[in-house]
Amino acid sequence: MRRIAQLLRPLAAATATGAAAPGHAPPASGFLTIGAITYIDPIGHYPIDHPPDGTPTLVINDTDHHVTVVTERDHVPRRGPTLTPITDIVLAPGSRTETRRGHSVQVGWGRVMGG
């Protein structure tokens, strides 16, 4: 029981002060659209359902947070003579993309690359 109390202490403190629990981002304000589904004030992970015909899935970030299209980490495509690992797609607020890869969209974890 003592170990459980130690684990719950940070969560209880965050809840008492009205802050987000450790390790969790606050909800985004706005809309996240993945394919034909729109989420209001999203938080956390949302699955990407890829059409069976192989057409790309539209992802629109109309929130105030960056979102990341999380890719399959174990998949490494062959491009030319060398292997190039797949990187996550990060969408800034107001951005959109079409993708044929990825298994979910994570709200609030995006990092802007190169700037």
Please compute the mean of the pLDDT values over residues 29-37 and round it to a whole number. Answer: 95
Prediction pTM value: 0.64
Residue 53 has pLDDT above 90, yes or no: yes
Contact indicator for 105, 63 with CB cutoff of 8 Å: no
In a domain, 114, yes or no: no
Structure tokens at 82: 């060398």
Pairing of strands 82-83, 78-79: antiparallel
Number of structural domains (the chain) is 1
Structure tokens at 20: 């987000």
Rg (CA), the chain: 17
Q: Per residue in 2-16, pLDDT tens? A: 555 555 555 554 444
Residue 34 has pLDDT above 60, yes or no: yes
In a domain, 82, yes or no: yes
Measure the CA angle with vertex 33, ends 109 and 44; round to 5°. 35
Q: Domain limits at 96?
A: 25-107
